[in-house]
Structure 1
């Protein structure tokens, strides 16, 4: 595949099971294609199957590669490939970027968060953590340093990048990524009652702090034996009122948000926190940990906790959703603002 004088868009974080980052990548690729023309771009992926999830993606030219993002050797090899194949721009939708480039190449790097630098145990603890920090500590600063433009997805991450690497980034947070029709079959499948269950959406990596939610929910259930907690986005063993549907479709996720009593999001660090935005837009109040990224969503459909007692109290008396406050969020997080920021690239 000849990429000479094309815009190479790195879509290696696209996933068949759409994560928040994967959905963001789909939206970014769509906006880039609309701005520069579908025939002007080539999308770099690890598996061409991921391009079948969206009508626009199906029409785009694909370059499949076995080179993985965040692999040090692959990072070097990709830099050579890009150097010799001479695309006119490389828009990397992750923060591995390149380790070197031609002066004429426009390089854009996307930094969703700097979790590896701030979250203890992010790589598994012990020697793994030390090795991971050293590994990423080479790759990420270099990619940011040589980029012409650094993108991020929140003011919190923008400040982290500035503090750690002295680089000004552009906040490219957008609007609603989840625009599917609710598939209500999942509500009946698990015999859920409207506005009677709590939910969590995401993976179970250390920064998600799921242990706090599970600990407090177990205490809450002692006094409320009918309580249900739905955990989507990763697999687990369902028991004692905790149900793991695993990965769900976008339509099923919308249905779960719309029927939930509240979304509980206990992370100790996030670059953005897409489920918070998705929940509020879909009529679901949010109980979230008090961290900078979540404070950007602050509105009257949301409450913040730090301690177990605060979380327990909010489970006991969840926030009531008021549609009147929705406009505050949809105005702040909109694709109109996203398009304005795109002009800065």
Structure 2
């Protein structure tokens, strides 16, 4: 099939739309970046200014469609090859919107959402191949894209520094925290893992070394309370390389892996507190999820977390297991502090709505 025929195919699929959304993420596990792309598109489809949104996806049977959007399987191939080569051909004259950190380096005038500058700032925590590719891709896309977006002022400044572009070229679209609101919590998760309500500390993230799980475990052990469990929710990912095993440290430290949103919501609602001493964070959705679901939070005074969490969280030094342990004790054994953070956290997290994020995104797209 010729290039002109391929371009005509996407013209037929999308009508007079100016944009086509890169849907490669629809075939991937829903971790942070994938969740952001999905929630932003869902929220975009609900804006009264938007008639419809077209998401182009690779062929295959493992695609999870985006609610409200028109999903179109196009071309052939999958993964990086599909994103870099096939999607740009099929997009024709339409501008590609890439919301999950990556886009084709062969296509100018795109929209690229870069979630953080971690591959530059914390390179040792990524595999060599992943780190090299993302550095090259970000550097190129920062120069060829019509619109560069990120999720916090912290990320904007770091990306501008490393990609050597003016910070004014990068727009900020804060993320949302209300994606679990319509989901019914599944309390069965407590029985599945032998947990008692209000008797466990919760930690949620992918198992990236920057998330600081080793110090979380050390701090929890220093609390030295056998009546409490530490529950770690997260998915291992080979792009971060090998990390220390955290599943067999102690009987009351429980690594439960990836859980559904309904079970995650139940864990937030039944945890005594949530701990997130991440060394590096471009935004940080899990603390806002915890706040939104009534769970008081302890987070690191590092990277974008103070910007995102404001005065609604307790803060700790992420490089000190002693400080994490001390702050954790304060949160665990001071009911007044937990109640105050629970109240402030819910009010604060309620400001972060995906509809608001979508409106800001639409404003950025309209500038084009």
Q: Could you tell me how far apart the structure 2 residues matched to 1:285 and 1:75 are?
A: 40
- Give CA deviations for 1:271-329 in whole Å, capped at 9, x if unaligned: 11110110001001111111131102334541111121111112212141335424642
1:13 aligns with 2:13: no
The gaps in structure 1 that reach 5 residues or longer are none
TM-score by length of 1: 0.84
Alpha-carbon distance change, 99 to 300 in structure 1, aligned in 2, over 3 angstroms: closer
1:149 aligns with 2:127: no
Q: What's the counterpart of residue 217 of structure 2?
A: 214
- State the Cα RMSD in Å: 2.7
**Which structure's relative contact order is higher, taking Cα pairs within 8 Å and 6+ residues apart?**
2
Q: Could you tell me how far apart the structure 1 residues matched to 2:27 and 2:338 are?
A: 34
Range with bigger deviation, 208-217 or 281-290: 208-217
8 Å CA contact 1:8, 1:44 repeated in 2: no
Alpha-carbon distance change, 211 to 66 in structure 1, aligned in 2, over 3 angstroms: farther
Q: What's the counterpart of residue 233 of structure 2?
A: 232
8 Å CA contact 1:93, 1:109 repeated in 2: yes
Range with bigger deviation, 326-335 or 174-183: 326-335
- Give CA deviations for 1:202-253 in whole Å, capped at 9, x if unaligned: 11122112111112222323xx122210011236635421112221110110
Q: Could you tell me how far apart the structure 1 residues matched to 2:133 and 2:356 are?
A: 35
- Give CA deviations for 1:61-83 in whole Å, capped at 9, x if unaligned: 233753424xxx666534xx514
Q: What's the counterpart of residue 56 of structure 2?
A: 43
Offset at residue 162 of structure 1 (A): 2.3
Offset at residue 11 of structure 1 (A): 2.2
Q: Could you tell me how far apart the structure 2 residues matched to 1:114 and 1:64 are?
A: 31
Q: What's the counterpart of residue 263 of structure 1?
A: 274
Range with bigger deviation, 7-16 or 256-265: 7-16
For the residue of structure 2 that corresponds to 1:49, the secondary structure is coil
8 Å CA contact 2:40, 2:354 repeated in 1: no
TM-score by length of 2: 0.79
2:71 to 48, 60, 67: 60
For the residue of structure 2 that corresponds to 1:287, the secondary structure is strand
Q: Could you tell me how far apart the structure 2 residues matched to 1:193 and 1:337 are?
A: 36
1:77 aligns with 2:122: no
Q: Could you tell me how far apart the structure 2 residues matched to 1:207 and 1:109 are?
A: 24
Q: What's the counterpart of residue 335 of structure 1?
A: 354
Offset at residue 189 of structure 1 (A): 2.4
1:203 aligns with 2:191: no
Q: What's the counterpart of residue 283 of structure 1?
A: 294
Alpha-carbon distance change, 137 to 18 in structure 1, aligned in 2, over 3 angstroms: closer
For the residue of structure 2 that corresponds to 1:321, the secondary structure is helix
The gaps in structure 2 that reach 5 residues or longer are 1-5, 237-245, 332-336
Q: Could you tell me how far apart the structure 2 residues matched to 1:147 and 1:334 are?
A: 27
8 Å CA contact 2:231, 2:255 repeated in 1: yes
Alpha-carbon distance change, 84 to 68 in structure 1, aligned in 2, over 3 angstroms: closer
Q: What's the counterpart of residue 320 of structure 1?
A: 338
